[in-house]
Amino acid sequence: MAPLFPRTDSESGGEGGAMHEGKLIFAQLMDHLPLHTFRRTVARFGGDRAVRSFSCQDQLRAMAFAQLTWRDSLRDTVICLNAQAAKLYHMGFRGPIARSTLADANETRDWRLYAAFAQSLIAQARKLYADEPFGAELAGTAYALDTTTIDLCLALFPWAHFQRTKAAVKVHTQMDLRGNIPIFLHIDDGKSYDSDILDVIVPEAGATYVMDRGFLDFARLHRLTAAAAFFVIRAKSNLKFRRLYSHPVDKTTGVQCDQTITLTAPHSIARYSDKLRRVRYRDQKTGKRLVFLTNNFTLPARTIADLYRCRWQIELFFRWIKQNLRIKSFFGFSDNAVRTQIWIAVTVYVLVAIIKKRLQLEPSLYTILQSLSVTLFEKIPLDQLLGNIPDTHEDHLDSNQLKLLLN
C-alpha cells in the first residue's frame, strides 16, 4: 500500500528542504511544515486513535487548502478537491474526500492538537523574525494586545450566546511586533471583556505591552508593573489625574507634552497608586490627537507614540485572518469545530510568514496569500512564483482606515 504521506526532503533532511520542480505549489507549501512534530503532537493527543482512513494530517491539509483558496463551506472544499482527483495523491491525500468525514473530524478531534501544533510553528517563526525591525526604536520585546469579535448565528451556535438574539466568539490575541507573529490566542464567548486577556497571559519582565483604551483596567495594569513589564496604552478622555512634572519635548516630532502624573479618582488610586507617564501626541498626517499612558519613564516620548502606531499591525492580522483565511464562515457548529478552524487558520498564517522569511521574499503576506489562492495546482517552483509577483502594498492601512482605528 502506498504511504499516506510520502516522505519529502523536508522530513528526511530538515525543516523546509529544497523545493523541486514538478511539485504542486500546495505540496511545496506543506513541505515547510514540520510533519514529524505534527505526528508527535497527534500521538500525544491520540488524534489518530481508531482512525482508519482519514488521518489528522488529512484533516490539516484539507482545512489548510480551504483557508488558502477561500472556500466558503465543507461542501465547497470537498467538491474543489475531488474535482482534481488525479492530483490528490500528489497533495498528500490517499483518495477522494467525503464531506461527512471531514465534518466529523472537525467536530470530534481535539482542537488542542491543532493549537499545540500552531504554537510549535509560532516558536519557529519567532526565531526567524527575532532581529526583524518593526518601526520603533526598541531593543526589547514588544507585544500588541487586541481582541476581535466574530459574530455567529445564535440558532446554529447556542453555546456562544452573546446577546438576547446574537451569538459570537471573541479571539483575544497577543502579537509579537517583530514579524507580526501571533504568539498567544485565547478564544471565548462574546460576553468577555477585552482586558480579560491580561488575566490569562504571563507577563514577561522587560517586555512592553501595547494596547488600545479598551484594555484600560488599572488593577490589571498594576500587575504588569509588579511583574517588571512595561505597558503603553491609549488613555480615555475622562481620565482624572494630577500633573506632577512636565518634561521638555520637541514639538516638531508631533509630541505635544510629556508629563509625570498621578491618578486622582479614588477607585483608580486604589487600583494603581504609582506614578504614570502621560504623553500627548498629534499625528502629523491625520491631525488626530492621541494621549498615551505608560509606566516606562526612560523611552523617548516619540518612541511611545511609535509603539502605539505599530499596534495597528494587529488590526491587519485580524483582517487577514477574517477576510483572507476564511474563519468568518465556519465549517462546523460545535465549540470544538470552531476552535479547530481558528487554530488551523493561525497555522496557515504562520506557515506563510515562515516561508516569506525562509525564501527571503519581498512581497507582503497579503500579496503572497492572494497569489497562492489561485496557484495551488500549478507546478512552478515556489520561490520563483512568489519572488516575481509585484507587491501592491494593499495590506497597508490608508488614511481613512487609520482614522477609524484611532477613533
In one letter, which amino acid is 279?
V
Task: Report the range of poorest mean pLDDT among 180-189, 202-211, 271-280.
Answer: 180-189
Q: Binning pLDDT at 50, 70 and 90, where does residue 382 land?
A: very high
Can you give the pLDDT at residue 329?
Answer: 55
Q: Are 293 and 235 in contact (CB under 8 A)?
A: yes
* Three-state SS sequence of 142-205: EEEEEEEEEEECCCCCHHHEEECCEEEEEEEEEEECCCCEEEEEEEEECCCCHHHHHHCCCCCC
What does the alpha-carbon distance between residue 169 and residue 20 come to, in Å, rounded to a whole number?
A: 41
The angle, 0 to 180 degrees and rounded to 10, between the axes of the packed helices 365-373 and 56-68 is 100
Q: Are 201 and 184 in contact (CB under 8 A)?
A: yes
pLDDT at 2 over 50: no
Q: Are 324 and 71 in contact (CB under 8 A)?
A: no
Cell numbers standing for residue 356: 516569506
Q: Are 135 and 309 in contact (CB under 8 A)?
A: yes
Q: Binning pLDDT at 50, 70 and 90, where does residue 322 land?
A: low
Q: Are 69 and 26 in contact (CB under 8 A)?
A: no
Can you give the pLDDT at residue 159?
Answer: 65
Q: Are 149 and 40 in contact (CB under 8 A)?
A: no
Terminal alpha carbon distance of the chain: 60
Give the pTM. Answer: 0.77
pLDDT at 345 over 80: yes
| Residue 100: burial class (beta carbons within 10 Å; 0-12, 13-18, 19+) | exposed
- Residue 278: strand pairing partners: 259, 293
pLDDT in tens, 228-252: 999 999 999 999 999 999 999 999 8
What does the alpha-carbon distance between residue 76 and residue 80 come to, in Å, rounded to a whole number?
A: 6
The angle, 0 to 180 degrees and rounded to 10, between the axes of the packed helices 365-373 and 335-358 is 110
Q: Binning pLDDT at 50, 70 and 90, where does residue 363 land?
A: confident
Q: Are 301 and 255 in contact (CB under 8 A)?
A: yes
Q: Are 354 and 125 in contact (CB under 8 A)?
A: yes
Q: Which residues contact 385 (CB under 8 A, 6 or more apart)?
A: 25, 371, 375, 378
DSSP state for residue 5 in the 8-state scheme: S
What does the alpha-carbon distance between residue 112 and residue 2 come to, in Å, rounded to a whole number?
A: 29
Can you give the pLDDT at residue 401?
Answer: 36
**Average pLDDT for 294-302:** 95
pLDDT in tens, 10-57: 444 344 444 455 899 999 999 999 999 999 999 999 999 988 889 999
Task: Report the range of poorest mean pLDDT among 64-68, 133-137, 360-364.
Answer: 133-137
What does the alpha-carbon distance between residue 341 and residue 339 come to, in Å, rounded to a whole number?
A: 5
Percent of the chain with pLDDT over 70: 84
Q: How many CA atoms lie within 13 A of 24 on its CB side?
A: 17
In a 3-state reduction of DSSP, which class is residue 358? helix
pLDDT at 61 over 90: yes
